[in-house]
Structure 1
Amino acid sequence: MSVRLIVRTFSELCVTVGALIVLFVVYVLFWTGVKAADATEGQIDDLRSRWAQGPVSAPAPQPTPTPRTPDGRPPAPAAYRDGKPFAMLYIPRFGKDWEWPVLENTGVRTLQKGLGHYLGTARLGATGNFAVAGHRRTYGDPFKDFPKLRPGDAVVLSDGTTWFTYRIDKPPYRTVPSDIGVIDPVPRKSGFDGPGRYLTLTTCDPEWGSSHRLIAWAHLDATRPVSEGEPAAFHS
């Protein structure tokens, strides 16, 4: 085989590999974002459609006896539907247009549509730790600006009837993926010293890797009926 043929073959391989790399970069940087935008809009439309079926501004019904279980306790609220959206999450520091749906579970397909609620963690606004995961990069880059979070920042969620305003307690904490204690009811290293109504946000670190996790913890600061308008956190 002549030197010329070897050089030409090697050059063609380089061009092919280069083209594949470019296509992969386009897929990662552009196409996953397009797919995420479509999927996220679909989840938001689903939520708003469901909320519209029971307007939060409707007059309050006349008092009726509260249903009770056989042992006299109020019935447990309906479980979140696996893989389905149930809330919207807003972080004003990330911009006035930043909004993402929260779906139940943190599976691969779920996180391609929005943010995911860790199975087994607390319900929104309840005592315990309401824990949420999201991509740092790809699929819309929801938590691209995660390191910008600062103590006192608001994280606002809505389930269609109530606004829940949480406040970040400390700068993002970096740990390894195996540190599952970050989503405990009282997360280790969070600074919380007892039961409360907490929020944990998690994402990957470094920005284009997944060797570590960035964690932000917050506490429930205020609630407000949706019928009374947006919370002050949106305007502060």
Structure 2
Amino acid sequence: MTALRPERETDTSYGDQSYGGPSALGDTAYLPPMDDETVALRIPDPPPIPASAGTAASPASGVPEGGRAARRKAARRRGGRHGGAAESAPPEDGPSGRPLSRVEARRQAKLRKPSPAVMASRAIGEVFITTGVLMLLFVTYQLWWTNVRAHAQAGSEASSLQQDWASGKRAPGVFAPGQGFAILHIPKLDVVAPIAEGVSNKRVLDKGMVGHYGEGALKTAMPQDKVGNFGLAAHRNTHGEPFRYINRLTAGDAVVVETQDEYFVYKVTSMLPVTSPSNVSVLDPVPKGSGFTTPGRYITLTTCTPEFTSKYRLIVWGKMVEERPRSKGKPDALVE
């Protein structure tokens, strides 16, 4: 005969857990609440801890031991009361978590300090960078600013000469070093530059002007002289560079010298591409290497070569073909 069970002791087994009868935590049995939206299987929530069980909990349960203050402190360590992310603890000073001793601190500071080789390489790198910047500034000054300044100075000198000529102001027969007295025209190269006495860099050439060999042992004739060689020099690069492209001149190209009273027209006859800077015979009254054999009225243009160096000299020679008073107007070479 099967024994009867009381109605209160209904078996409520669920998986491995049994709910029914007196609970280990109290007299009332725990039943999981019914989900209003679904009746699918689910793991029931853990039973609440009754007040009679106290605040202590085993370390395995994960609940902090102690009272309310201990629980708050543990909650702050886990991320605060509101579930924020836990703050990371500051790194320990030493491998074992203890503060470093003075000897250990000095040793680590010495290890962090750059070695002499690293410091030397940094210093050398800074020197190279500074040197590169200075060289770039110097090149910019030489190739750009000197031209800007020289063009302004040469243009001012040419305008001053033309104003003096227009006003009837007479120029002296002998010119002081650095004094302008004529204007050079090279139509093929679109060159218009004042001619000043002397070939000094500071007084003449660096100002963008063309210099006349008119002093000392290198003194040459003037355009109005009935015989002789009118010698001129100018920069090929930087400082206005009036003679930069005279290597492009060919036989028959015109070179005109404008003075207060006359225009002197020369025609290019020959060129010496390379010669020594000490070859002053190119300025002789009958210049050597020019092809001229008898005295005449010649012009010699001299400049440096190759470009951006002063190792050699480039020479261009011409012969006067026309002397035209200003009262008759400009020569054909300047009108075309």
Q: Same fold (TM over 0.5)?
A: yes
Name 2:327's counterpart in structure 1.
227
Q: Distance in 2 between matches of 1:10 and 1:136?
A: 37
Aligned counterpart in structure 2 of residue 117 of structure 1, from 192, 196, 212: 212
TM-score of the pair, normalised by structure 1: 0.86
1:31-180 aligned at under 5 Å gives the runs 31-54=145-168, 78-95=173-190, 98-109=191-202, 110-113=204-207, 114-119=209-214, 120-126=219-225, 127-180=227-280
Paired residue type of 1:124: P
CA contact (8 A) 2:271 2:290 kept: no
Paired residue type of 1:189: G
Q: Distance in 2 between matches of 1:84 and 1:54?
A: 18
CA contact (8 A) 2:247 2:273 kept: no
Structure 1: segments with no counterpart, 5+ residues: 57-76
RMSD: 1.7
Q: Secondary structure at the match of 1:160?
A: coil
Name 1:65's counterpart in structure 2.
none
Q: Distance in 2 between matches of 1:141 and 1:160?
A: 25
CA contact (8 A) 2:264 2:322 kept: yes
CA offsets 1:66-107 (integer angstroms, 9 cap, x no match): xxxxxxxxxxx8212321000000101102xx2000000001
Q: Distance in 2 between matches of 1:151 and 1:41?
A: 29
Which structure is richer in relative contact order (CA contacts within 8 A, separation 6 or more)?
Answer: 1
CA contact (8 A) 2:155 2:193 kept: no
CA contact (8 A) 2:272 2:289 kept: no
Name 1:64's counterpart in structure 2.
none
Name 2:309's counterpart in structure 1.
209
CA contact (8 A) 1:125 1:220 kept: no
Q: How many residues align?
A: 214
Q: Distance in 1 between matches of 2:224 and 2:274?
A: 25
CA offsets 1:2-58 (integer angstroms, 9 cap, x no match): 3321221121111100001101101101111122012112211221122122189xx
Aligned-pair CA distance for 1:173: 3.5
Find runs of 4+ consecutive structure 1 residues off by over 3 angstroms.
none
Q: Distance in 1 between matches of 2:267 and 2:314?
A: 17
Q: Distance in 2 between matches of 1:42 and 1:180?
A: 31
Is 1:17 aligned with 2:131? yes
Paired residue type of 2:292: F
Q: Distance in 2 between matches of 1:235 and 1:50?
A: 23
Q: Distance in 2 between matches of 1:10 and 1:18?
A: 12
Rg larger for = 2
TM-score of the pair, normalised by structure 2: 0.61
CA contact (8 A) 1:125 1:197 kept: no
Q: Secondary structure at the match of 1:112?
A: helix
CA contact (8 A) 1:147 1:172 kept: no
